[in-house]
């Protein structure tokens, strides 16, 4: 009989999908057949003509689960779905019924099943099935992921625990992610002092990592909805610094840091030419990841030729420099199937970060009632 675990979170950007990706990797070392399902999919994505949630598509691509993609994302909140549900066009029992049917099929096919929730505990309430209700209905024990800290973790976990308790879902473990390395032991000690007398174990996940947190060039291309020109081998390169090309060309180049994305307006021909020329010098290629060139003024013909001939990765946009910089600063990077460096880091680190035996011991293999 298939074991299963429900991965919940206190909110967005806690690293829930990174945790799921890690547990998939570890479970596959222990079990022959490991499956994944994201019952509610708020982020629509099309994989091989099948509409599914973006995170489910990511797991399917990484772990070769494309044959199960129709089951992995049973309810996708595409355009107009919630209005149809609230307007009575979708019968109230349909979403949970689809989730149960998909989960039952995946349990037949697998020895271990990871069920990933969406956002905080209340997500899905608008269609009558929040994360807590789903975990209870599928009879799956819950791991709740929270971002690092002490007070903020306690506050956010308690807020979500109240809903899970109300629905009768069993939260077994608080998994604290994005820990500050030098405070890891102290943070976990105090969180254990608070939660373990209340029945929840506490464990640490990944420490905060700029490699995992920072965007890649292809990520920014998707964010801006613009093509990435130049060297496509650098698509998955991680951006560690963003620098505005406001000073003199010499000053800008002198202050480049490791893997810098340089934002320089289209009228600064001398800086575009200088950066393009330096990209093919190994010492500078390590520092210069690529360019974003904003501005309504066209790049001069000679500068454009030098830019293209250098093969430096660049994105051209008609937005202003301020608009681009603000967009990048507010962006929270999400892992995609193209982020090979991040995915490999997660897999290689998972065994030293997680106690999978503890998680495995919490997983249930009990069936759920289809009629409930």
* pLDDT 10s digits, 229-276: 999 988 888 899 999 988 888 999 999 999 999 999 999 999 999 999
Query: What is the rounded distance in angstroms from the CA atom of residue 62 to the CA atom of residue 84?
Result: 33
Residues of the chain with CATH 3.40.50.300: 3-209+336-362
Q: Rounded to whole angstroms, how far apart are CA atoms 99 and 103?
A: 6
CA distance 83 to 277: 54
Amino acid 175: pLDDT: 92
Contact 290, 319 (CB under 8 A): no
Model confidence at 44, pLDDT cuts 50, 70, 90, reads confident
pLDDT band at 371 (very low <50, low <70, confident <90, very high): very low
What CATH number is given for 215-330 in this structure? 3.40.1390.20
- Please tell me the distance from the alpha carbon of residue 217 to that of residue 55, in angstroms, as a whole number: 19
- The answer on pLDDT for 372 being more than 60 is no
Q: What is the pLDDT of residues 45-82, one digit of tens each?
A: 776 777 788 889 899 999 999 889 889 999 988 888 88
State what percent of residues in the chain have pLDDT above 70.
Answer: 98
Calculate what percentage of the chain has a pLDDT beyond 90: 56
The ranges of the chain annotated as CATH 3.40.1390.20 are 215-330
pLDDT in tens, 114-150: 999 988 888 889 998 999 999 999 999 999 999 878 9
Q: What is the pTM of this model?
A: 0.80
Q: What was the pLDDT predicted at 149?
A: 85
* CATH (one of 3.40.50.2300, 1.20.1250.20, 1.10.287.370, 3.40.50.300) for 3-209+336-362: 3.40.50.300
């Amino acid at each position: 009989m298939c074991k299963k675990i429900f991965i919940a979170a206190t909110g967005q950007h806690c690293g829930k999908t990174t945790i799921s990706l890690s547990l998939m990797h570890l479970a596959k070392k222990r079990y022959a057949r490991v499956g994944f399902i994201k019952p509610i999919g708020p982020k629509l994505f099309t994989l091989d003509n099948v509409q599914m949630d973006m995170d489910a598509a990511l797991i399917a691509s990484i772990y070769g689960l494309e044959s199960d993609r129709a089951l992995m994302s049973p309810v996708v909140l595409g355009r107009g779905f919630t209005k149809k549900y609230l307007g009575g066009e979708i019968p109230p029992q349909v979403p949970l019924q689809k989730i149960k049917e998909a989960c039952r099929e995946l349990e037949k096919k697998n020895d271990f099943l990871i069920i990933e929730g969406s956002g905080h505990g209340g997500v899905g309430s608008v269609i009558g099935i929040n994360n807590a209700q789903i975990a209870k209905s599928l009879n799956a024990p819950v791991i709740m992921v929270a971002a690092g800290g002490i007070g903020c973790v306690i506050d956010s976990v308690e807020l979500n625990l109240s809903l899970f308790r109300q629905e009768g879902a069993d939260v077994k473990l608080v998994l604290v992610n994005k820990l500050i390395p030098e405070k890891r032991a102290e943070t976990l000690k105090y969180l254990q002092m608070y939660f373990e007398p209340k029945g929840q174990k506490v464990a640490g996940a990944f420490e905060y990592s700029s490699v995992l947190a920072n965007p890649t060039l292809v990520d920014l291309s998707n964010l801006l909805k613009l093509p990435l020109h130049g060297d496509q081998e650098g698509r998955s390169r991680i951006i560690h610094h963003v620098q505005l090309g406001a000073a003199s060309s010499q000053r800008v180049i002198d202050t480049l840091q490791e893997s810098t994305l340089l934002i320089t307006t289209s009228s600064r021909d001398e800086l575009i030419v200088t950066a393009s020329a330096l990209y093919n010098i190994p010492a500078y290629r390590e520092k210069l990841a690529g360019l974003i060139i904003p501005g309504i003024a066209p790049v001069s013909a000679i500068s454009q030729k030098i830019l293209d001939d250098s093969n430096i990765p660049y994105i051209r946009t008609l937005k202003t420099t301020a608009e681009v910089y603000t967009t990048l600063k507010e962006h929270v990077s999400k892992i995609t199937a193209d982020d090979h460096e991040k995915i490999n880091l997660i897999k290689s680190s998972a065994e030293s970060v997680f106690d999978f035996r503890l998680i495995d011991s919490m997983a249930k293999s009990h069936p759920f009632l289809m009629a409930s």
